[in-house]
């Protein structure tokens, strides 16, 4: 027989081990996803480096002789974005869910204001200046994701949303915003939101008739907009023609894509070295924006591009893992939508710079220069990190 005092010591030891185990599990599972956070940090760091390299020549030529002008702006945007990401990551996503509808309505109001008092740059009216200059379409991307996640997870709406009632509940409201984006015109944003919306509808198990009705509505609306002449969409035809025959007008419509292909081809396996690219010297227009991947390919080669795409693959894998293990349907759909947003933008940007699809204004997340886009992107990462903290799975 075991003496009673030995039994007590053994039970106490087992109890202490259980407590320690639970504490370790609590610490382990209540942290943000390590691999997601690592991919975000590395992508942001590499992206900032490439913005400096790609912008130095253009900035020196056009920004009062300062090669660091664009870098300074991007660093400021990155700092603000990281602060926003950290702040949002500590806000319970359930709290954010309560403000989904007001946020969605507010973003639609901003899109209306763009038509009334927006700023026109490069033949597109996409910006608002209210103290600061910003792009409401970037807010609208996140607003649509949160709105759809709310609709498909709300008990009183979800069973109606997956049927034809969804046309009234979410397709028409989102369609209003998409129409306003088309009028700017901002077709690339329309395409991104449309693809993310279809993916979230699929994840929400929407019935087939809804897709058919939505497709018919899109075709009909597009026909009305084209026929009305409210917006000049002739540039779309020109870009499609350029896509089919890039060498047709190498000094005109095809100039940008041809310079992009020259940059990619000259990079080879290991590239020319960081900062040693040639196409950024006023050959490739605005190389630090949508075509920054071309400069990366020229300077870091196939290996550098593979590394960056590998980091995006890591991000996407962890994002979908978070969505799979999320604690409820709203958080699951939100994580899925944010991950799909990055996936769609990366795939479309790669397709554009390699001339695999017609040129559109698709930025490369974490890399392309931009204020609103980078800050809102990192704020979205904060939402994803918050959901991962409340999800029970192995984070490391």
Instruction: Give me the percent of the chain exceeding a pLDDT of 70.
Output: 89
The reply to whether 335 falls in a domain is yes
The mean pLDDT of 307-335, rounded to a whole number, is 96
Peptide bond into 329 cis (omega under 30): no
Inside any domain, residue 186 = yes
pLDDT at 2 exceeding the cut of 60? no
Please state, rounded to an integer, the average pLDDT across all residues of the chain: 87
Q: Please give the residue range of the domain that contains residue 279.
A: 33-389
* Tens digits of residue pLDDT in 39-63: 999 999 999 999 999 998 888 887 5
Does the pLDDT at position 13 exceed 60?
A: no
Most confident of 94-98, 207-211, 346-350: 346-350
Residue 38 has pLDDT above 80, yes or no: yes
Q: Give the model's confidence band at 19: pLDDT under 50 very low, under 70 low, under 90 confident, else very high.
A: low
Burial class from Cβ neighbours inside 10 Å (0-12, 13-18, 19+) for residue 156 reads exposed
- pTM value > 0.85: yes
- What span, in angstroms and rounded, lies between the C-alpha atoms of 122 and 286? 12
Residue 221: CA atoms inside 13 Å, Cβ hemisphere, count?
A: 16
> Tell me, what's the pLDDT at 60?
82
3-class SS letters over the chain: CCCHHHHHHHHHHHHHHHHHHHHHHHHHHCCCCHHHHHHHHHHHHHHHHHHHHHHHHHHHHHCCCCCCHHHHHHHHHHHHHHHHHHHHHCCCHHHHHCCHHHHHHHHHHHHHHHHHHCEEECCEEEEEEECEEECHHHHHHHHHHHHHHHHHHCHHHHHHHCCCCHHHHHHHHHHHHHHHHHCCCCHHHHHHHHHHHHHHHHHCCCCHHHHHHHHHHHHHHHHHHHHHCCCCCHHHHHHHHHHHCCCCCCCCCCHHHHHHHHHHHHHCCCCCCCCCCCCCCCCCCCCCCCCHHHHHHHHHHHHHHHHHHHHHHHHHHHHHHHHHHCCCHHHHHHHHHHHHHHHHHHHHHHHHHCCCCCCCCCCCCCCCCCCHHHHHHHHHHHHHHHHHHCCCCCCC
The answer to whether residue 28 scores a pLDDT higher than 80 is no
Does 16 reside within a domain?
Answer: no
Asked whether residue 1 is assigned to any structural domain, the reply reads: no
- Give 25 or 334, the one with higher predicted confidence: 334
**Residue 254 confidence class, pLDDT cut points 50, 70, 90:** confident
The number of distinct structural domains making up the chain is 1
Question: 4-8, 15-19, 271-275, 313-317: lowest mean pLDDT where?
Answer: 4-8
Q: Mean pLDDT over residues 363-374, rounded?
A: 92
> Which pLDDT does position 30 carry in this prediction?
77
User: What backbone phi and psi angles, to 5 degrees, belong to 124?
Assistant: -130, 135
In a domain, 28, yes or no: no
Mean pLDDT, residues 140-155 taken together: 94
Of 219-223, 293-297, 306-310, 319-323, the one with minimum mean pLDDT is 219-223
Q: Helix 136-153 and helix 329-353: axis angle, to 10°?
A: 140
Q: Would you say residue 9 lies in a domain?
A: no
Please report the pLDDT score of residue 185 as a whole number: 85
- Average pLDDT of 165-189? 89
Task: Tell me, yes or no, whether 337 lies in a domain.
Answer: yes
Average pLDDT of the residues in 84-88: 96
More confident residue, 193 or 158: 193
Confidence of residue 124 (pLDDT cuts 50, 70, 90): confident
Asked whether residue 17 is assigned to any structural domain, the reply reads no
Give the mean pLDDT of 21-26: 58
Grade residue 347 by pLDDT with cuts at 50, 70 and 90: very high
Structure tokens at 258: 């041809």
What is the mean pLDDT of the segment spanning 260-275? 92
What pLDDT, on a 0 to 100 scale, did the predictor assign at position 1?
A: 46
Q: Which residue has the tokens 């990551």?
A: 89
Average pLDDT over residues 257-264: 91
């Amino acid at each position: 027989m075991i003496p009673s005092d030995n039994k007590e010591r053994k039970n106490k030891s087992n109890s202490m081990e259980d407590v320690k185990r639970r504490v370790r599990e609590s610490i382990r599972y209540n942290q943000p996803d390590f691999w997601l956070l690592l991919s975000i940090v590395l992508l942001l760091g590499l992206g900032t480096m490439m913005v400096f390299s790609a912008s130095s020549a253009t900035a020196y030529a056009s920004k009062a002789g300062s090669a660091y002008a664009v870098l300074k702006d991007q660093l400021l945007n990155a700092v603000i974005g990281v602060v926003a990401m950290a702040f949002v990551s500590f806000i319970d996503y359930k709290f954010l869910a309560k403000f989904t509808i007001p946020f969605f309505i507010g973003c639609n109001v901003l899109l209306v204001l763009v038509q009334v008092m927006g700023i026109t740059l490069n033949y597109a009216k996409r910006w608002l200046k209210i103290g600061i200059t910003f792009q409401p379409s970037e807010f609208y991307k996140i607003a649509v994701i949160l709105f759809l996640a709310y609709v498909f997870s709300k008990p009183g709406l979800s069973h109606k949303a997956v049927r034809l009632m969804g046309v009234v509940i979410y397709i028409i409201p989102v369609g209003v915003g998409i129409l306003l984006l088309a009028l700017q015109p901002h077709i690339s944003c329309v395409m991104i939101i449309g693809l993310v919306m279809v993916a979230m509808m699929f994840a929400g198990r929407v019935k087939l008739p809804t897709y058919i009705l939505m497709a018919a509505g899109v075709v009909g609306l597009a026909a009305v907009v084209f026929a009305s002449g409210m917006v000049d969409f002739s540039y779309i035809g020109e870009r499609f023609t350029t896509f089919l025959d890039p060498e047709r007008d190498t000094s005109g419509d095809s100039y940008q894509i041809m310079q992009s292909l020259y940059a990619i081809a000259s990079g080879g396996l290991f590239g020319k070295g960081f900062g040693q690219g040639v196409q950024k010297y006023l050959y490739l227009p605005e190389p630090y924006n949508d075509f920054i991947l071309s400069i990366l390919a020229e300077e870091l080669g196939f290996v550098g591009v593979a590394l960056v795409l590998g980091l995006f693959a890591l991000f996407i894998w962890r994002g979908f893992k978070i969505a799979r293990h999320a604690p409820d349907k709203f958080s699951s759909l939100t994580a899925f939508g944010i991950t799909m947003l990055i996936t769609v933008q990366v795939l479309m940007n790669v397709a554009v710079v390699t001339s695999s699809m017609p040129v559109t204004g698709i930025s490369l997340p974490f890399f392309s220069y931009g204020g609103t886009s980078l800050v809102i992107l990192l704020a979205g990462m904060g939402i994803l990190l918050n959901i991962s903290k409340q999800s029970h799975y192995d984070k490391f």
